[in-house]
Amino acid sequence: MDIIFLLGRILLGGFFIMSGFNHFKDTEGLAGYAASKEVPQPKWAVLVSGVLLAIGGLGILTGIFPQLAILLLVLFLLPTTFIMHDFWHASDEAKQSEQTDFMKNLALVGALLMLLALTTPWLLAL
């Protein structure tokens, strides 16, 4: 079971790390999208959220300070979910995509909260 838990951490942590990397790789594009959602200081919001994602993902992947990693990721996901994926305001063309992203983010928050139930230090943590 230890290897399954490690595989799950690699997949979940890797997802967040890659998302954070994307915030740095495509800062301008994501800032434009954030601006369209009326996020103040959109470029800074993208950069700060990229840091939250990358550090949080590394914490999940390595098992180092997992509670802090979970906190950082939830601090990113909750406002982002409701601000950026407000499907109830979306046009008919965008509604399904926004609702899918909204539900995905809620599922990720649920998975992260379940990780809080595990004793620390995590098995196979660095």
pLDDT by residue (tens digit) across 63-116?
Answer: 999 999 999 999 999 999 999 999 999 999 999 999 999 999 999 999 999 999
Q: Is the pLDDT of residue 126 over 90?
A: no
The predicted pLDDT at position 110 comes to 98
Q: From its phi and psi, is residue 38 left (phi > 0), alpha (psi between -120 and 50) or beta?
A: left
Contact assessment for residue 66 and residue 113, using Cβ atoms and an 8 Å cutoff? no
**Does position 60 have pLDDT exceeding 80, yes or no?**
yes
pTM passes above 0.75: yes
Mean pLDDT of 41-70: 98
Instruction: Give 58's contacts (C-beta < 8 A, 6+ positions apart).
Output: 13, 17, 64, 69
Q: Is the pLDDT of residue 13 over 90?
A: yes
Percentage of the chain lying above the pLDDT 90 cut? 94
The angle, 0 to 180 degrees and rounded to 10, between the axes of the packed helices 92-115 and 66-84 is 160
pLDDT of residue 75: 97
